[in-house]
Structure 1
C-alpha cells in the first residue's frame, strides 16, 4: 500500500507514484487535485490492478459519476480489491444490477422538502443542499439521484428560496449546509450564504457537512 501522504515534506520526499514528479505545491493545492481527477479505466490502470468487476463498473455508460482526486486515489491499496478506501470510490459490476429494495431517495428527503434543495424533517433544523458536486464520489451516496449531475445544480434563485424559507420559519435554529460538498463551491458564494444565514436572528447554529 502507498506510504501515508502528509501535508508537509518533512517525512515524505515526494508524492506517491505515479505522481512522484508533481511538485508539492501542486499536490497540496486543492485546485490541482480537482483538475486532475481520475475517472477512466486507462487512468486507474496506470497505478493499480483493476478487477474485471471494476473494469465493467468504470466502462458502463450510465453508472453513477466517478471522479477520484489523486490524493484520494493514493490512499487506496492498488493490489487489494477489498481495500476499504478502494471500495468507497471504485464502481463495480454489482452497482449496475437492479434489486427489489432499490430506492432513488432512500432517506425520503424529497418528501420533506418545502423548497428545492431544503430538507425540513425535524422541527428546529434544516438540511440546506447548496451544490450537487463533490471532489470525489462515494459509491454509497444516498443522494446519487442528484449528486454528480452537472444539470442538477442549485442556482442563486434556489439559494434565495432556501434562505427565505429559513428566515420566515422561526422554529429553525440549526442549519446544516451540505450537498454535494459545500467546500467545492466558489468561496464568495459560500461566504455570501454564511453571511445571510448569520443575519437571521433565530438561526443559532450553522454547520457544514
Structure 2
C-alpha cells in the first residue's frame, strides 16, 4: 500500500474508514526500510483516519534499520500510528542467536515492537533460506533472557491455504511433569 500514490492511498484509507464495522486498518510494508525517503508528509497524511491505524514493517536484518529507516519510522510514530514488525527466519540472514538478537534489539531501539517471526513459506526458489522449525525453536529458546520481553516476537507458521497462522515457538511447560518448566538453558525447574 505504501507504494501507491498518496492520493490513491488516501482514497483507500478513507473508503475503509467509511465502513462502520471496520475498526482497525493494518498496513504491512517494507517501504520504511527499503525506501524510507518515500515516507513523505503527503504519504503520512494519506494514512490519517479516525480508525485504529497500525503499520507492520517487514525487516529481516538489523542492517535494514538505517538512520534513514529509523527516521521514517519515527515520522509514522509521530502520527500516533503504532509500528510493529514482521520478520522471516532466513538461513544465512538471521539464523544465528547473534543476528536474531541484533535484529530484535534494533527494532526495539527504533521503537518498533517485534510482532511475528515467520517460519519460511515453502515457495519455489527459496529452499536455500529454509531453517527447520526445531532450529528456529532452539534459537528462540537461546534468546530467552538475552532480550527484553518487549522484543519477543511470536514464532509462527502460516498454514497453507489461507488457514491462518499458528504459534510454533519453543515449549516451556513439561507435560510429562506437571508443575515443571524448562529454563532457557534447558534445565528443569519446579513451580507451584
TM over 0.5: no
- TM-score normalised by L of structure 1: 0.26
Give the strand-richer structure, 1 or 2: 2
- TM-score normalised by L of structure 2: 0.28
Query: If you compute each CA radius of gyration, which structure gives the higher value, 1 or 2?
Result: 1
Higher RCO (C-alpha 8 Å, min separation 6): 1
